[in-house]
Chain A
Amino acid sequence: MSSLLQVRDVHFDYQGHSVLRHASFELEEGSCTALIGTNGAGKTTLLRIAAGVLRPVSGSVVLQGRPMGAIPLREVARTIALVPQQLELPFDFTVQQVVEQGRTPYVAVLRGPGRSDRMAVDRALDMANVSSLRHRIFNELSGGERQRVKIALGLAQEPRLLMLDEPTQNMDIGRQVELIDLLHFLQAEGITILASIHDLHLVDKNFSTVLLLSPGEPLASGTPEQMLRPSILEHAFQCPPDRHPLLIERAELYQKETR
């Protein structure tokens, strides 16, 4: 597999505080990577830097062998889609109008969206399972429905790399399973996935690589088996091992495996 995105020794400060220090990772074409870490560790910042919307203080981001800054914005937008945690709209746009914005990097300034754009929007709405909401007002949707619409907006960009920032927030377990299935489907289609995930139960078996971001520590990377070890999680999340069901569960599993 060839490398799609490389983040090299990235450093970022916000209002005098160091948010990211010497973060480096690489995404292989077609891989499915989970980004985990404590609250405030800089997961969102790292995703924004990797997507090219935030410039790091130092370090570099290389997309398909080219420095991010040297690639035209529209070309980046046709390659990477970042689904953010929050999306607030000032006016009453319908779901379809929101998802149509995903075609911005494809639509010429003086020409409206064409047949291929409409088809891509329909496909994105369908994949995110929000076709039935297309005429609803985005601001009137529930948190989970909005989340799926945001994913449809990202899919309408027809990206090669889909980044999702906490995509399962506000989703019930049924919708979480749908999302995981969608990620498997997209991966099978050759789309690379990078998702910041809070629920560690979803990481195991669904992601090929895990990136662990802890404050003051270098970015760690490995397979789910390597990264979800109780000792690593306990240290990274500063959580006593006997106080959280996940850690108890992982400890039992790990003991079974070692036996």
Chain B
Amino acid sequence: MEIEVARERPAQEAMPPETVKQEALASASEPRNGLGKGLALTVLLTLALGVAILGSLATGAVPIAPRTLLAAMLGQHPLTEMQRLILFRLRLPRVLASGLVGAALSVAGLLFQGLFRNPIADPYVIGSSGGAIFGACIGIAFFSQWSVFGFSATALLAFVGSAATMALVYSLARSAGKTNVVTLLLAGFAISTMFTNTTYFFEIFDKSGNGNRILISWLHGVIGIPAWTELAVSACLLALATLASLPLMRTLNTLALGDEYAQQLGVRVESARVCIILIGSLLTAVAVTLGGMISFAGLIVPHVGRLLLGPDHVRLLPVTALGGAIFLILADTVARTIFAPSEVPVGIIMAFVGAPFFLYLLRKMKRGYTV
């Protein structure tokens, strides 16, 4: 009997029409629901980002009531000169920079996690941030006056350092067509440690003492108050990189099956890999030039996104960018207010939040580390 049933099954016509219809409806409704959920979450996070920016602008050593801020925006209540100065010269550039750094690190984390098929890959863990810092240090120490097409040598070298480190770590972790996760993490850790400690020697070459101060704040992850032009360039690069990564999101879904399977499905794996590393490195360089070494943002945000929406990278991209921006704006607000008027580097806040999360993920993934 079983054999008879089984034999009839392949012939689709043999199935009752109601069953086929119900299954077709079920299959059609699922992606739509998933897409709807992703869209709803994107809208929700956009609103939350607005609230986070407003809340962060209002919070600080000199608080400005949100109502006053809103009224000032609507032109109903002029700000005092002091409030204007605090808002436009200090807080707004910093809040926007935090948002850009958070979005850049989170999207970079999403790209690297997809590429390495591993939820614990993020720019900090795999050494991309360390490489960017090293490149930026060379820029500060030797080429501080140079610029190419309007980009400072520091920013360009941060990008080169990040991309080169990624290529090195990746090639070390690859063996027989597979990426060894343990080697990836160890190589990332070793290279990151080496590069961040190498920055010490740049003090010797720095005569002004200004570079040294910048380096120390970078190593701890401090979001400074950038110039408006720097913010505009960073925002353009973030938008460009995010747009460029959009067509790669579907490829990342396919790469989850493994490189060889993806190739069998028609994906040009090597080209996709190079594109993902370059875009991820560009995003890391943007984040590093604005905020230095900030750990774990790229680890936590994509993971939380995956818990809410599932692993589809297409849906995850906007949610990750917005979530990362909100997360870092909130973290930086805490960093500059928790011991006000003193400030704590946001990198330290992130380390305290991120390290336990990282350990939790390691514990959850321990089946992958059997020796």
Q: Footprint of B on A, CB under 8 Å?
A: 48, 51-53, 72-78, 80-82, 84, 87-94, 96-98, 101-102, 104-105, 107, 109-110, 112, 118, 121-123, 125-127, 129, 131, 134-135, 157, 174, 177-178, 181-182, 184-186
Contact = CB atoms under 8 A, between A and B. Distances in A.
Interface stretch (B36-44, B218-226, B252-260): B252-260
B260 A53 contact: yes
B206 interface: no
Nearest to B10: A185
Interface string B304-316: 0010001110100
Interface string B260-286: 111111111000000000000000000
Contacts of B118: 90
Contacts of A125: 27
Contacts of B261: 84, 87
B11 interface: yes
B253 A126 contact: no
A89 B117 CA distance: 8
Interface residues of B, number: 42
A71 B268 CA distance: 13
Nearest to B19: A131
Interface of B: 2-3, 6-7, 9-12, 15, 20, 23-24, 26-28, 30-31, 117-119, 246-247, 250, 253-254, 256-258, 260-268, 306, 310-312, 314
A72 B265 CA distance: 11
A26 to B, nearest CB: 21
B254 A134 contact: no
Given A90-B119, A91-B306, A97-B312, 19 more contacts: A52-B264, A73-B268, A76-B266, A77-B265, A78-B266, A81-B264, A84-B260, A90-B118, A93-B256, A93-B312, A98-B257, A104-B254, A112-B314, A127-B10, A131-B27, A134-B27, A135-B30, A181-B9, A182-B10
Contacts of B30: 96, 134-135
